Amino acid sequence: MFEVPARQAGGNFECQEFFSIVIRSLTLQRVADVAFTVHFQGNEVESRGEGLKRFEIKREARIKRHRRVRKKVSGTSERPRLSVYKSARHIYAQIIDDDSGHTLAAASSLSLRTAGQEQGDKKERAKAVGKMVAEAALKAQIKRVVLDRGGYRYHGRVKALADCARESGLEF
């Protein structure tokens, strides 16, 4: 009944009841792949943790987009890369020279907390981080950068950070 996905994954399984499948000798990632395949074959298999699966699917898609962009975007010593990462609460920006593998300047919304400037919504904090990273870059005599949006859409917090960094003197 579910032999094909489990056999492709290289593991053992047995169907104990109508709604439960026991899968053995697989890594956690392979179990998730098998469960995803079984779930979307049109079978009515109940599963818990749908939100977690959805989060993992979105995260994997973002990582794929980031890898695809990173094939074309790389920072040099003349024009380093402005890398953006955002979590649910914070946003981080680094200026990276990929040739030497060094971070030349960095700022985050966590550093706003230490400076006592943490106020406003997430977009306002992203603007402050953009301004801080631009000031740090200009202090390190960096004027031109390449924007690496980290697989995120150029929208919302990422756009706010980039616009404020551009207004503060960085050229993209």
pLDDT in tens, 98-145: 899 899 999 999 988 777 776 789 999 999 999 999 999 999 999 999
Strand-pair category, 102-108 with 91-97: antiparallel
Higher-pLDDT residue of 52, 31 = 52
Structural domains for the chain: 3-68 (no CATH), 70-167 (3.30.420.100)
Higher-pLDDT residue of 116, 86 = 86
Question: Between helices 28-39 and 50-70, what is the axis angle to 10°?
Answer: 110
Tokens of 68: 């695809």
Name the strand (E) or helix (H) holding 129: helix 122-139
Stated pTM of the model? 0.65
Higher-pLDDT residue of 148, 32 = 148
